[in-house]
Structure 1
């Protein structure tokens, strides 16, 4: 079963780390300057996990 990732955009500070690690999954919104998920099931889980661990505010999560 494929896991889906999401970002709590209210917590996001727009550092861009997730986008650097997984550009196929995350991008920074031009208007809000916060990260958003563009492909929730679209990346290697190892890279998504690395983005989760690298996020300074821990706003990236797996959907239940």
Structure 2
């Protein structure tokens, strides 16, 4: 998660709430954060990443470190 790109639109949290949530401790310009990298399957995480309007979510293969998203 690249917080400098996140605009806090919550699309990732809506799609994969077991992985992402808005940081409620931030009063000004709250950002999404990863709460559990293994909280959902790769398809759900990829869907969340693909719907992020600013492409703030980076997805990589945990084993090979291959970058899966953004391409």
Residue ranges of structure 1 left out of the alignment (5+ in a row): 1-6
Deviation at 1:52, TM superposition (A): 0.7
Alignment RMSD: 1.1
* TM-score normalised according to structure 1 size: 0.83
Query: Aligned to 1:37, which of 17, 25, 34?
Result: 34
How many residues in Structure 1 have an aligned counterpart in Structure 2? Answer: 58
Does 1 or 2 have the higher relative contact order (CA < 8 Å, sep 6+)?
1
Return the index of the structure with the highest Cα Rg. 2
* TM-score normalised according to structure 2 size: 0.75
Match of 1:9 in 2: 3
Deviation at 1:44, TM superposition (A): 1.2
